[in-house]
Amino acid sequence: MTSSAPLIEVRDIVKHFGSVIALNGVSLTVNSGEVLGLLGDNGAGKSTLIKTLCGVHKPTSGEIYIDGERVSFNSPRDAQVYGIATVYQDLAMIPLMSITRNFFMGQEPVKRWGPFRFIDLKSADKITHDEMMKIGIDVRDPGQAVGTLSGGERQTVAIARAVHFGAKVLILDEPTSALGVRQTSMVLKFVNRVRQQGVGVILITHNVRHAYAVGDRFTILNRGRTLGTYTKSEIEIDELQNLMAGGKELADLTEELGGTV
């Protein structure tokens, strides 16, 4: 990065759906090599914000800057061109297809031989194998179906694919919500590695512990507004939890039950 401008900056985004105000002035920034935990309870506006960032929705008002340049997206393709990649919870993977074919889906490496053009499967297999190796998954056979992978492995393949194809900002929508403990740690470990490569990550979750484990800064959404952004050193995990859930009630409940909710 030569400029000091953040990778992506969002200023006062407002999004109305008819009479429903889904977002009412949300701002956030993500720098290169940083993980921003975007926290919020159900209905806080996380999904709407993400869909706005990746070009699915157009904001009613507000601005989005990428590397300091003001942008507006008309489609998810536009956002991809600017290096914003989204890995959805329900994944963009096809279980019956091989890992390699999933990895390169839509962006297959094409080789020419006279008038014929075909997929360079050999190098595709090799790239897939190497990329998965970097994540720490030894795929002995990139030709095996994605359906045979675990949920965590599929999630990491999706992330690895996004990074390989030049994502600068990676939006992860609830990447750990459907995963077990070991698989969660696998995904979080990988998020950490992606960050070290200089990618900016927006990690959406309502699991504070997962966010706190890898996050550098945390933005809390509540009822369509930003409640504030805190760096890791400024805030304790319990405080973060309370802020996210609307504070007092949860604190009372915690006391009543004699443990952390």
Partner 1 sequence: MTASEGDVATVEQVVDERLMKKSLVTQVMRRPELGAVAGFVLVTLFFLLVASDQMFTLAGFMNFMSPAAQLGILAIGAAMLMVGGEFDLSVGSMVAFSGLVFGVALTVWELPLLLSILVAFVVAGAFGAFNGQIVLRTGLPSFIVTLAFLFILRGLSLVGLKWATGGSTQLRGIKDIAGEGWVTEIFSGDAFEGFFAWMAAQGWIDTFRSGLPKVSGVPVEVLWFIALSAVATWVLLRTQFGNWIFAAGGDANAARNSGVPVRRVKTILFIVTACCATLVAVLTVLDAGSTDARRGFQKEFEAIIAAVIGGCLLTGGYGSAVGAFFGAVIFGMVAIGLTYTQIDQDWYQVFLGGMLLLAVLFNNFIRRRMTGERS
Residue nearer to partner 1 on the CB measure, 36 or 199: 199
From the CB of 135, what's the least distance to partner 1, in Å? 8
Which one among 38, 84, 170, 186 touches partner 1, defined by CB under 8 A? 186
* H-helix or E-strand spanning residue 126: helix 121-135
What single DSSP character describes residue 233? G
Of 147, 146, 149, whose CA–CA distance to 102 is shortest? 146
Opening angle at CA 138, ends 183 and 207, nearest 5: 15
Site mask, partner 1, residues 187-226, x = CB under 8 A?
Answer: ----------xx----------------------------
Question: Should residue 56 be labelled a site residue for partner 1 when binding is judged by CB under 8 A?
Answer: no
Spacing of C-alpha 144 from chain mean position? 26
Question: Should residue 81 be labelled a site residue for partner 1 when binding is judged by CB under 8 A?
Answer: no
Which one among 43, 147, 180, 228 touches partner 1, defined by CB under 8 A? 147
Let me know: does 208 contact 244? Beta carbons within 8 Å.
yes
From the CB of 191, what's the least distance to partner 1, in Å? 14
> How far is it, in rounded angstroms, from Cα 242 to Cα 240?
5
Question: Should residue 247 be labelled a site residue for partner 1 when binding is judged by CB under 8 A?
Answer: no
Question: Should residue 1 be labelled a site residue for partner 1 when binding is judged by CB under 8 A?
Answer: no
> How far is it, in rounded angstroms, from Cα 124 to Cα 52?
32
Number of chain residues interacting with partner 1 (CB under 8 A): 42
> How far is it, in rounded angstroms, from Cα 184 to Cα 161?
18
Terminal Cα-to-Cα distance of the chain (whole angstroms): 40
Question: Should residue 95 be labelled a site residue for partner 1 when binding is judged by CB under 8 A?
Answer: yes
Which one among 114, 138, 181, 255 touches partner 1, defined by CB under 8 A? 138
Question: Should residue 112 be labelled a site residue for partner 1 when binding is judged by CB under 8 A?
Answer: no
* H-helix or E-strand spanning residue 250: helix 248-257
Let me know: does 241 contact 260? Beta carbons within 8 Å.
yes
**Which residues fall within 8 angstroms of residue 124, CB to CB, at 6 or more apart?**
100, 103, 104, 108, 109, 142
Residue nearer to partner 1 on the CB measure, 44 or 50: 50
Question: Should residue 126 be labelled a site residue for partner 1 when binding is judged by CB under 8 A?
Answer: no
Let me know: does 112 contact 99? Beta carbons within 8 Å.
no
Question: Should residue 8 be labelled a site residue for partner 1 when binding is judged by CB under 8 A?
Answer: no
From the CB of 43, what's the least distance to partner 1, in Å? 24
Question: Footprint of partner 1 on this chain (CB under 8 A)?
Answer: 76-77, 80, 88, 91-97, 101, 104-108, 110, 117-119, 121, 130-131, 133-138, 140-141, 144-145, 147-148, 150, 163-164, 186, 197-198
